[in-house]
Amino acid sequence: MTTPGLEQSQTYTFAASSADPMTVRRLGFGAMRITGPGIWGDPADRGTAIEVLRRAVELGVDFIDTADSYGPEVSEDLIREALYPYEGLLIATKGGLTRQGPDQWGPVGRPEYLRQCVHMSLRRLGLERIDLWQLHRIDSLVSLEDQFGVIKDMQAEGLIRHVGISEVTVAELVASQALVDIVSVQNLYNAGNRASEALLEHCTANDIGFIPWFPLGNRALVAEDGPLAAIAVRHDCTPAQVALAWLLQHSPVMLPIPGTGSVAHAEENCGASGVTLDAEAIAELNALTPTE
């Protein structure tokens, strides 16, 4: 397995052309899996969750992605306990999804609710301003003008620094950009699921950060005897590191955020930044038949 650490990791600058850019290492950490089963409740071992967060930062991660709905609230609380006052870190969070139980999610985009989401995230994280706040899902029952109107208001009020959006099409992104500046998009994407390829191409062409959630795909994709195994052997790394390295090489705006509740897996994931896939490996990965 490639030695952990992000010393070789390239960086990405959100809002590079603005007067208020933010630069991070491209391999981040997704803080969804530090909660309980079904992304519901506390983790089985709170101490381990704290250790995972701190170890990721020790290894060079400076971009942490979370959401108020993870737990709910649990992930943000753990991040504050483990990492506050966040020196040198960009803590991104999301709002707009409600929870009814394990693995249950429902979008609510009413302006008053989105404002509540931001204020409560600020309180839990101990911040005066959220550097990157992302609308977790567009609510089809609320107009875009109402949803992004309140987001733009909160940005003007200094509560939000930059705005992102999650699980959208190219058309939805363009429509959203007409209402507020969007610096990042977070969609499901990995080597085995490229349904958002057109969106990634749009983001690459327009220098919009693309944050792929579920970057390792399903267990079969990164299994020791799976489709990436031979590539991993040739590159002296693990299949999971191959999957992450491919994402990093696939587009300069890609910011994978692998999440885990295990210190060992966090170290393995961070080691992907030291893997450079050769042309043969890239061709093999590009030719993979989607499995999800």
Q: Which residues are identified as catalytic? A: 70
The residues near 201 (Cβ < 8 Å, ≥ 6 apart) are: none
Which stretches within 59-157 are classed as H helix?
74-83, 111-125, 144-156
Q: Is the peptide bond before 85 cis (omega within 30 degrees of 0)?
A: yes
The residues near 34 (Cβ < 8 Å, ≥ 6 apart) are: 43, 49, 52, 53, 70, 74, 75, 78, 259, 261
Q: Are 131 and 92 in contact (CB under 8 A)?
A: yes
20/165 Cα distance (integer angstroms): 19
Closest CA to 281 of 234, 240, 236, 247: 234
- Reported as type and span, the H/E element at residue 211 is strand 209-213
Helix (H, G, I), strand (E, B) or coil at 239: helix
The residues near 217 (Cβ < 8 Å, ≥ 6 apart) are: 190, 191, 192, 193, 243, 291, 292
